[in-house]
């Protein structure tokens, strides 16, 4: 008797392969995309879709390939584009995706640089606080002796006096 856990485990396995894994043969992929298998071969020869190949060289289309085929069908039938136009649309979409990726990288680099600059500014700011001396207006830092209390400052100076024999005495 299967338990609920067993059923869930099998369900997880039944979820199927990823959307990029080739699993559909050409006839199934053509039916899913709503076109003839020969049309898929033409699209492959133009480089619009690139199915995987099995060891026996059978084309295997992924879910992404089927979505791409539907998109080609939409562009050609509903929008009236020819295959050259579809190729150009796909080229531009790939370039747009590359540009978005580059912009995201540049944005991340700019954020990192901004963060580093803010940290450096804060580090410099902290180092200046220890070195700063408070400002005092002119005349208040040094006080002339006359204004310091009326008394004179006397600094004893000893001078050598010459002796009569030519030597000096202190």
pLDDT in tens, 28-85: 999 999 999 999 999 999 999 998 888 898 889 999 999 999 999 999 999 999 999 9
Cα 136 from chain centroid (whole Å): 49
Report the alpha-carbon distance of residue 123 to residue 126 in Å, rounded: 5
- Phi and psi at 53, nearest 5°, equal -125, 140
β-pair partners for 59: 53
Lowest-pLDDT choice from 5-9, 24-28, 102-106: 5-9
Report the alpha-carbon distance of residue 115 to residue 56 in Å, rounded: 55
Going by the DSSP 8-state scheme, the letter that residue 151 receives in this structure is P
What's the pLDDT at 7? 45
Q: Which residues contact 167 (CB under 8 A, 6 or more apart)?
A: none
Q: Which residue has the higher pLDDT, 61 or 136?
A: 61
């Amino acid at each position: 008797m299967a338990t609920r856990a067993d059923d869930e485990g099998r369900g997880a396995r039944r979820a199927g392969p990823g959307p990029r894994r080739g699993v559909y043969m050409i006839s199934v992929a053509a039916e899913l995309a709503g076109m003839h298998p020969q049309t898929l071969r033409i699209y492959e020869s133009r480089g619009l879709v690139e199915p995987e190949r099995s060891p026996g060289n059978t084309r295997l289309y992924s879910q992404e390939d089927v979505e791409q085929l539907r998109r080609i069908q939409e562009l050609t039938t509903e929008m009236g584009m020819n295959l050259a136009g579809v190729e150009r649309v796909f080229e531009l979409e790939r370039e747009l995706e590359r540009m978005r990726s580059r912009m995201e990288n540049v944005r991340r680099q700019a954020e990192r640089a901004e963060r580093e600059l803010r940290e450096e500014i804060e580090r410099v700011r902290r180092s200046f606080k220890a070195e700063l001396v408070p400002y005092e207006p002119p005349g208040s830092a040094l006080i002339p002796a006359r204004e310091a209390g009326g008394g004179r400052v006397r600094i004893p100076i000893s001078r050598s006096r010459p002796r009569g024999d030519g030597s000096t005495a202190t």
